Amino acid sequence: MSQYDDIAARIRALCEGETDEVALMATVACELHHSDDRFDWTGFYRVVAPELLKIGPYQGGHGCLVIPFSRGVCGAAARTGEVQIVPDVEAFPGHIACSSSTRSEIVLPVFSAGGRLIGVLDIDSDRPDAFRQADADALAQILEDVFGKL
C-alpha cells in the first residue's frame, strides 16, 4: 500500500520531535483525513477518566462528545485493546450513531510506549465495507510510529 507509505512519511516528518499528545493527534487526523476519499470523519477519542473517552482532534462533521468504554465501536476498541473493523455500522450491536452518513468504520486503540491506552483513532466512511485488514495494519504502524515513543 504505497498510499500509506507516503502518508506515513509525511506524518513522520510533521511530527518529528513533538511530544504533546493533542498536537500529534491533530496532525495525524488532518493528514489521514485529507489523504483518502473514503474517510468521511477522522479523529481521536482520548481516555480522560477510567472507562471514559472524550472527543479529541478530528476532521469532518461533529462527533460524539463522550463515549463510555461500554458503548459503541470506539468503546469496544478501548475496552478490548483490539482494532475494530465494522463493514456495516447498523449491524454492530450498540453502535452509537454520531453521524447519520456513517456506513462503515475502523477504530484502532492508541498506546504509548509504556502500553498506556491514550485513546482511539476512529475513521468513519459514508461507504459500506470501506476498510480492510491492510488498512488496519498500515494505520496501526503509523500510530505506533507517532505515539509509541511517548
In this model, does residue 95 exceed pLDDT 90? no
Please state the rounded mean pLDDT for residues 63-78.
96
3-state SS of the chain is CHHHHHHHHHHHHHHCCCCCHHHHHHHHHHHHHCCCCCCCEEEEEEEEECCEEEEEEEECCCCCCEEECCCHHHHHHHHHCCCEEECCHHHCCCCCCCCCCCCEEEEEEEECCCCCEEEEEEEEECCCCCCCHHHHHHHHHHHHHHHCCC
CATH code of 100's domain:
3.30.450.40
In this model, does residue 2 exceed pLDDT 80? no
In this model, does residue 101 exceed pLDDT 90? no
pTM for this prediction:
0.96
Q: What mean pLDDT is reported for the chain?
A: 95
Check residue 140 and give its pLDDT.
98
pLDDT band at residue 96 under the 50/70/90 scheme: confident
Please state the rounded mean pLDDT for residues 116-127.
97
Check residue 100 and give its pLDDT.
81
pLDDT band at residue 97 under the 50/70/90 scheme: confident
Please state the rounded mean pLDDT for residues 106-122.
97
In this model, does residue 58 exceed pLDDT 90? yes
User: What's the structural domain count of the chain?
Assistant: 1
Check residue 94 and give its pLDDT.
79
Please state the rounded mean pLDDT for residues 118-132.
97
Domain extent at residue 143: 2-147
